[in-house]
Chains A and B, each alone.
Chain A
Amino acid sequence: MFDPLALAVALPLLGALLVTMLPGWSRALGMLTALATTVVALWLTVTVWGGASLHSDLGGWGVPLGIALRADGLAAALVAMANLVALAISINATGYFGTAESSRKFWPLWLLLWSALNGLFLAADLFNLYVMLELLGLSAAALGALTGTREAAEANLRYLLVGLLGSMTYLLGVALLYTAYGTLDLEQVAASLTPGPVALSALALMVGGLLLKAALFPLHFWLPPAHANAPAPVSAALSALVVKAAIYLVLRLWLDLFDGIVTEAAGMLLGLLGAGAVLWGSWRALRAERLKLLAAYSTVAQVGYLFMFLPLLTATPDGPERERLLTALVLLALTHGFAKAGFFLAAGLVQKSTGHDRIRELGGAAQSLPAATFTLGLAGVALIGLPPSGTFFAKWVLVGQAIALGQWWWALVVMAGTLLAAAYVFRVLARAFNREPTPKCFLTDPRTEIPALLLAALSALGVGLAAQPIAVLLGAGD
């Protein structure tokens, strides 16, 4: 009964039902669920870290009809990150959605999103992945529109439609695979997959659909307005977690399912799109007028880095180099998750206390909110890729492997991206230095500041130095 896999998905779902039925208690019940889910998720990660590969069939139906869940190292690493970030967002949200009405609207959707997220990381078959993907997309779009502004509604309608287009395309790929191989279980399909037109079409459809959801340049157009107009805790979840989920799925397909099918040319294509994302996203972030828009474009750029790993992974044969590359990729994804969530929460604080987030006019705000500024700084360290953040070591491995493979152009992209990121981060941080009166104390609103600060500190100081345990975790589930 106490199966961490099932609990990680079921608990937030149960919580979502409860807060819907008892809206008056939504905040207390929501926080309780958040805590319990995080504990379960960490328990799951530790179990996998200890060397166990978890697997469970809900309801005992088994393949092919049942709902199978499974956790390997990759899944466990992302689950741990996602749940810690989600917990921090929940704590922040108790302050942000302070009124009874906003709280009643937020919690059911948020817990539903959380359940879908865990389900997506842990699902073991292609169709469950689809269901979780849709659930994630629907709850994310609804959450994103909670501010109630016209811009938010428009942006999220577009997000919803694009997401649906992506998942329908993915589903057609799944149908093709089922037609050819008669199973949906990831491992079974991977074992029987042979190169050919069916496999290639399925690859193109599924990955193509997911690229829309992952906002890979030039399919990123929906992301900046949707992420910039959502309430800050939701923006944090969208940028740090929801986009990551789609990328996780691409990675899953790329590494596990289509391992023998993917060609270097395909990898190169995605890598080039990633490079485009790094340059274009960073450039737009530099030009952005608003803090949250800057953060959203920075997500576009960071997604690009993750895709730049794919051509290198495809070209590197199995062995220690490939494992190192994979560790670096996960390191980057985790660091960005923590950093971007912290960044958005801090941006939300700035927006709430000043009533706007126009970067030009932030001078006084930066001075009167030292904790928020500090959070932006720490998260900025991780976004630029300065040491000792995980991004730094990930870029070290990325550039090293690119040079070793003779694909030196990725190194140039990383250099340019790093400098652009430094420029856009310090454009914000420079506002912190002016001659406004000094604040008397560091924290002004602990409930919203401490979670953001902890997330940012984890991204800048924690994840990078913990690279070795993460590598152990990634090796454990295989």
Chain B
Amino acid sequence: MNLDPYLPLAIVLSSALPGALIFFLGEDSYRLRTALNLFGALLKIILVGWMIWGVFHGHVYESRLTLMPGLELVLSADALSVLFVALSTVLWLVTTIYAIGYLEHSPNRSRFFGFFSLCVSATVGIALSGNLMTFVVFYEILTLATYPLVAHRGTPDADHGAKVYLAYTMSGGVLLFVGAVWLQTLVGQLTFTQGGLLGAAPEALHGQFILIFFLLLAGLGVKAALVPLHGWLPQAMVAPAPVSALLHAVAVVKAGAFGIVRLVYDVYGVEFADDLGLLTVLGVLAATTIIYGSLKALSQDGLKKRLAYSTVSQVSYIALGASVLGPIATIGGLVHLVHQGIMKITLFFCAGNYAETLGVHKVSEMNGIGRRMPWTTLAFTVGALGMIGIPPVAGFITKWYLGLGAATAGAYWVIVVLLVSSLLNAAYFLPILYRAWFRPPPDQWPEEAVLSKRLETAPALLWPPVVTALLAVVAGLLAAAPFSPLEWATLIAEREYGR
């Protein structure tokens, strides 16, 4: 029996079904819930590994469900989806372990982990979507699955943050929906195609195509936190740390950025988008977002808020890469999809550790924290240096390719943006590192808890950031190795530009 058509579906269900079961578990079934969580995460990794092997050997995986003529749900694996699936799957396992450690004693765990699993299922669905309608379906499910996570704490702040989140994402979702439907009425089918699905579009329709691009971009830009659609992200910081990590590195923001990549390369086609003048607009938006996010991050004292604005800024590198014509910039944007994820999740794990272990929530409280929690702070340092773009951490690769690509394409203003933003990154990260390592620690931490006898904090909290920090270094050092993110990104870019 040929199982290939079921593999993409199985990858989505490997977290959705355990998630659905978790909802029905009693609050005290700690072991069963943890077992289900880890089982789903590991199974997903195995399945994704199988799929990567298959895609590499030329297998075609496609699950398809026809609803009506012209309305088909398609899950399929191309090189781009594999990149995103692999990222979310690996980071999900790490985040699950972290979340189990983080939420061990808080209420409503069944609800939390149920939606947590649905969230990653939706993300994987987004990654594997074979056409725009399927993408919209999972994109909306993602909105739905993350709302309870943001609202989870139940405080008035959480309630407000979740409402803002919902208002932004639902409005964006409606625009995306109308854009996708409109596009379908013009071109008939919405299958993602390398080089664009529009085909030979008649001149008369160009006006409509431009309008549709902006509808879709608005829908995707909300989740990708493009300025001025980023307002929800800092508000959503009220969520527990694992949720922030998930939102910023694995699921929501990433889904928006991934969608923009799909939009440019596989819906419009990068050359057609350039012909319509859309790439310039996207580039300007991305550049504005990068600078604006960095500037806002400078003035934030709350550690998570500073990281949130840093995300606003960093994710737009992906859109920036997509907006510059030429394979090298494309590689830079694509590879940042992975690199930003690994580095940002490390930073959020560390922020969570500081808060859980010492009650430290603000940058101004971090004096000497490196002496109390050296491993966590080491991981944080790796993440921060990567964000600035210092070799050998992965972030350097991104900026190198983006700069090189911009120079090749003659878009020198992009290089200026990169330089300014790197300086700003340094300006908001280096003071933190200085405080953490070189200032003397206070006599008493705001709210110190003893979570482990031997380690600086609970093992389930400590290992995830250490592992992801290590990954960030490895991704930078071994960028030229086969199966590295850079290699995949190069593969995708080569196919897109037809070499």
Contact = CB atoms under 8 A, between A and B. Distances in A.
Contacts of B148: 433
B128 to A, nearest CB: 15
A437 B111 CA distance: 13
Interface string B111-127: 10000000000000000
A386 B66 contact: no
B174 A381 contact: no
A434 B153 CA distance: 7
B182 interface: yes
Interface string A412-453: 000100110010001000100111011111100000000000
Interface stretch (A147-155, A310-318, A393-401): A393-401
Contacts of A396: 71, 133, 177, 181
A440 B27 contact: yes
B24 A386 contact: no
> Which of A395, A418, A438, A465 is packed against the most chain B CB atoms within 10 Å?
A438
Contacts of B24: 442
Interface in A341-389: 370, 374, 381, 386-388
Interface in A304-338: 320, 324, 327-328
A265 interface: no
B185 A400 contact: yes
A1 interface: no
Query: Interface range on chain B: under 10, 10 to 19, 20 to 34, or 35 or more?
Result: 35 or more
B26 A433 contact: no
B205 interface: no
B162 interface: yes
A433 B27 contact: no
B207 interface: no
B118 to A, nearest CB: 12
Nearest to B166: A426
Contacts, number: 104
B91 interface: no
Nearest to A460: B144
Nearest to B26: A441
B184 interface: yes
B166 A422 contact: yes
B159 interface: yes
A324 B69 contact: yes
Given A400-B185, A430-B162, A411 B68 contact: no
A374 B170 contact: no
Contacts of A464: 67
A392 interface: yes
A471 B71 CA distance: 12
A400 B181 contact: yes
B203 interface: no
Contacts of A370: 111
A370 B28 CA distance: 15
Interface string B62-92: 0001111111010000000000000000000
Interface stretch (B134-142, B255-263, B266-274, B355-363): B134-142
B151 interface: yes
A388 B137 contact: yes
Contacts of A465: 65, 67, 73
B154 interface: yes
A437 B107 contact: yes
Contacts of A386: 140-141, 143-144
A467 B67 contact: yes
Contacts of B178: 399, 411, 415
Contacts of A471: 68
A403 interface: yes
Nearest to A390: B67
B68 A327 contact: yes
A411 B177 CA distance: 10
Contact of A387 (B28, B136, B166): B136
Contact of A467 (B28, B71, B185): B71
Contacts of B27: 438-440
Contact of B184 (A388, A393, A400, A418): A400
A102 interface: no
A399 B24 CA distance: 37
Contacts of A438: 27, 107-108
> Which of B147, B155, B178 is packed against the most chain A CB atoms within 10 Å?
B178
Interface in B151-165: 151-155, 158-159, 162-163
Given A387-B141, A403-B185, A393 B166 contact: no
Interface in A19-41: none
Contacts of A395: 177
B23 interface: yes
Contact of B162 (A381, A415, A433, A468): A433
A411 B183 CA distance: 13
B364 interface: no
Contacts of A387: 136-138, 140-141
Interface of B: 23-28, 65-71, 73, 107-108, 110-111, 133, 136-138, 140-141, 143-144, 147-148, 151-155, 158-159, 162-163, 166, 170-171, 174, 177-178, 181-182, 184-185
24 contacts: A387-B141, A388-B137, A395-B177, A397-B68, A400-B181, A400-B182, A400-B185, A403-B185, A415-B177, A418-B170, A419-B170, A419-B174, A422-B166, A422-B170, A430-B159, A433-B159, A434-B154, A437-B107, A440-B27, A442-B24, A442-B25, A442-B110, A465-B65, A467-B71
Given A415-B178, A433-B148, A442-B110, 8 more contacts: A397-B68, A397-B71, A422-B166, A430-B159, A433-B152, A433-B153, A438-B27, A468-B65
Query: Which 5 residue pairs of A and B lie closest in terms of their CB atoms, listed nearest first?
Result: A467-B67, A387-B137, A433-B151, A434-B154, A438-B107
